[in-house]
Amino acid sequence: MPVITHPILIDIINLLKDLSKWHTFNIMIVIKSDDTDITTKLVYSSSRSRPSKSLLTPELYSKKDLDTPFNIYENLIEHQLTEMLAYFNRGSKEPIDKFTTDTRFSEILRLINENKESVFYKLDNLHSFVNVEFVVLTSRVFKKSVIYFSKFDYSVFIFCKGRLDKSISTVINDKNYVKSFGIMVPDELQDQIKVINDNVFTNEYNIKSYFIDNLTLNKRDSILKDIKLVTNYYLSYIKKVDITNNSCNCENIFKSEILNCRVCEKCYALYSDGSFLSDLDLVLG
């Protein structure tokens, strides 16, 4: 089976309990392949699979439909590929041979089997067990695969590099939903993904609750200002603007309830209790 390395996993679990850290760290999981045979046993379904309890706390998923008149990431989704490439480029200068935003398993496998060195692909989420199975499956034909988690929705991007002398012969019928690939997923990997998924859903629920509570208090203008500030912060972040070396005096500080810290309205530097929070890169592996 793929080897999941995580010498600092316990520290990461504790770190993610502080939701403010979610905005200032790049969250990734690294999978290293071995000589496991590539065998699949496809099972189909007439509908999409529900989230797996081993990958997401059920109570958190039940809260995801909490309705609010605001979508904090509405103006950021279109920049999602830029976001993922920015996270990748922060940690690596390696070229990407091919990438696709087509989330169909058949299209991703076609791309992988046609390319020798590296592939970058997208999945809608990692709380569906079949999606995690698919990541493990594709990791078996590369030396190393890295999962990048978006901060804008449930999507993930997977970068696979170091092609092995293997191919995936599985043929997928796109007319039905794949329920299972029959792939064994290590408990270790499931635990890592669950920590991150729970954090994503908890963070989303807290933001929606903040919107609802403040609408009740007639603080619509404050919410809209917070959303605009967060949007600008993320855009500067993914464009790799260096906010640690600028001439801004950070005189106009706004307390962002969404980011759970103070933000300079001019340069978008983040502060907590008067201390600067630097943008750090974090790798599980």
DSSP string, 89-142: HHH-----SEEE----HHHHHHHHHH-SSEEEEEES-SSSHHHHHHHHHHHTTE
C-alpha span between 106 and 34 (Å, rounded): 23
d(CA 210, CA 129): 31
Residues 89-138: tens digit of each pLDDT: 665 556 666 778 888 999 999 988 887 688 889 999 999 999 999 999 99
45 beta partners: 177
Is the pLDDT at 18 greater than 80? The verdict is no
Evaluate whether 223 touches 70 at the Cβ level (below 8 Å). yes
Q: Model confidence at 34, in pLDDT bands (50, 70, 90)?
A: low
pLDDT, residue 258, reads 82
3-state secondary structure of 280: strand
- Give me the helix-helix angle, 187-216 and 9-16, nearest 10°: 10
User: What percent of the chain has pLDDT above 70?
Assistant: 76
> Which of 185, 46, 209 has its CA nearest to residue 127?
185
* Phi-psi sector, 273: left (phi>0), alpha (psi -120 to 50), beta: left
Instruction: Give dist(CA 242, CA 269) in Å, integer.
Output: 9
Rounded-to-integer distance, Cα 136 and Cα 9, Å: 19
Q: What is the mean pLDDT of residues 194-213?
A: 88
Distance CA 16, CA 75 (A): 25
pLDDT at residue 57 above 90? yes
- With a cut of 50, say whether residue 17 has pLDDT above it: no
State residue 240's pLDDT score.
60
> Cβ distance 284 to 8 under 8 Å?
yes
- Assign 161 a pLDDT band (cuts: 50, 70, 90): confident
pLDDT given for residue 77 in this prediction: 80
pLDDT at 3 over 60: no
Locus of tokens 């502060």? 271
pLDDT at 183 over 50: yes
Range in 86-90, 116-120, 143-147 with the lowest mean pLDDT? 86-90
Comparison of pLDDT for 75 and 13, the residue scoring more: 75
Q: How many CB atoms lie within 10 A of CB 257?
A: 18
| 214 pLDDT above the threshold of 70 | yes
Number of Cβ within a 10 Å radius of residue 128: 22
pLDDT given at position 285: 26
Calculate mean pLDDT across residues 173-196. 89
**pLDDT at residue number 8:** 32
240: left (phi over 0), alpha (psi -120 to 50) or beta: left
- pTM across the whole model: 0.80
